[in-house]
Amino acid sequence: MPGPDRGMHLKEIMEYTLVRSRRRSVSLHIRPDGSLEVRAPLFMRGSEIERIVREKEGWILKQQAKIARQEKESEESGGVMSREEVRSLAEQALKVIPERVKYYAPLVGVNYGRITIRSQRTRWGSCTRQGNLNFNCLLMLAPPEVLDSVVVHELCHRKEMNHSDRFYREVLRVFPEYHKWNKWLKEHGGSLLRRLP
C-alpha cells in the first residue's frame, strides 16, 4: 500500500497529507495539531481530490481556526497540567460530582450505581446499562452549569440509552438550558482537553 505523500491546494496556501488506500471515497480529517489529512482511493486522480478539497475549503478553515482558538485558550488558562494537578482535580471532582448526581437523580426519576471520575481525552461522561456513571474530572474547570448539563445528560440515559427526541425532551424537562451549556462545551471543551498531560 502506498505511503502518504504531500499535496498542495487552495492557491498554494494550505498544505495537506494525502493517504491513499483501498477505500471508495475521499474523507478529510483535521489532526489535533490543525494539519489536514486527506484519505483517498488508490486510483483517484489528483485533480479530482483537489477539487473535493477546494469545495471543503470553508469547513477546513473553520475547523483549523477552532483548533487554533482552543490552543490559545488552553495556554491562557495555564497550559498543560502536571499529573499532580490532574490528580488534585479528580479528588475535587469526587467530592462535587456525586453531590450533583444525588441532587438531579430524583428530578430525573432514576437511580444509579457506581460513580467513577476519570481524566479522558474523548468523553465528558458516560452511563452503562447497569447504571454506573463516569465523569471527566476536567468538568471541574468548566462553569457549574456545564457540569450540571453533563450530569443530567448521563442520568437521562437511565431512561433512554440513545439520543432520540424523547431523550432530549427528558433532558430539557429537567435542565431547560441544556443546549446553551452543551454549546459552551463544544466550543471550549477542546481547550480543556488540551490541558491533560
Structure confidence at residue 8 (pLDDT): 41
Least reliable range by pLDDT among 1-15, 24-38, 110-124, 168-182: 1-15
Rg (CA), the chain: 21
Domain final position from 76, 105, 135: 76
Q: What is the pLDDT of residue 5?
A: 46
35 and 110 both lie in a single domain? no
127 and 145 belong to one structural domain: yes
Do 67 and 115 sit in the same domain of this protein? Answer: no
The domain containing residue 15 runs over which residues?
A: 5-76
Mean pLDDT of 15-28: 90
Would you place residue 197 in the very low, low, confident or very high pLDDT band (cuts 50, 70, 90)? confident
Task: Verify that 96 and 178 share a domain, yes or no.
Answer: yes
pLDDT given for residue 34 in this prediction: 81
Q: Are residues 68 and 97 in the same domain?
A: no
User: What's the pLDDT tens digit per position in 164-187?
Assistant: 999 999 999 999 999 999 999 998
> Do 133 and 53 fall within a single domain?
no
Residue with more model confidence, 53 or 169: 169
Give the tens place of pLDDT for each residue, 108-146.
Answer: 999 999 999 999 888 999 999 999 999 999 999 999 999
* Residue pLDDT, tens place only, 58-115: 888 888 887 777 677 656 667 788 999 999 999 999 999 999 999 999 999 999 999 9
Between 6 and 156, name the one with better pLDDT. Answer: 156
Q: What is the pLDDT of residue 165?
A: 96
Q: Are residues 52 and 13 in the same domain?
A: yes
Q: Could you tell me if 89 and 138 lie in one domain?
A: yes
Instruction: Give me the CATH number covering residue 108.
Output: 3.30.2010.10
The pTM for the full model equals 0.68
What would the mean pLDDT of 146-171 be, rounded to a whole number? Answer: 97
Same domain flag for 18 and 69: yes
Listed residues 76, 95, 120: the one ending a domain: 76
Reported confidence tier of residue 154, pLDDT bands at 50, 70, 90:
very high
Percent with pLDDT over 90 in the chain? 60
Among 23, 47, 76, residue at a domain's last position: 76
Say yes or no: 14 and 104 in one domain: no
pLDDT, position 160? 95
Both 133 and 180 in a single domain? Answer: yes
Instruction: Provide the pLDDT for residue 12.
Output: 47
Based on the structure, what is the number of domains in the chain? 2
Query: Residues 163, 180: one domain?
Result: yes
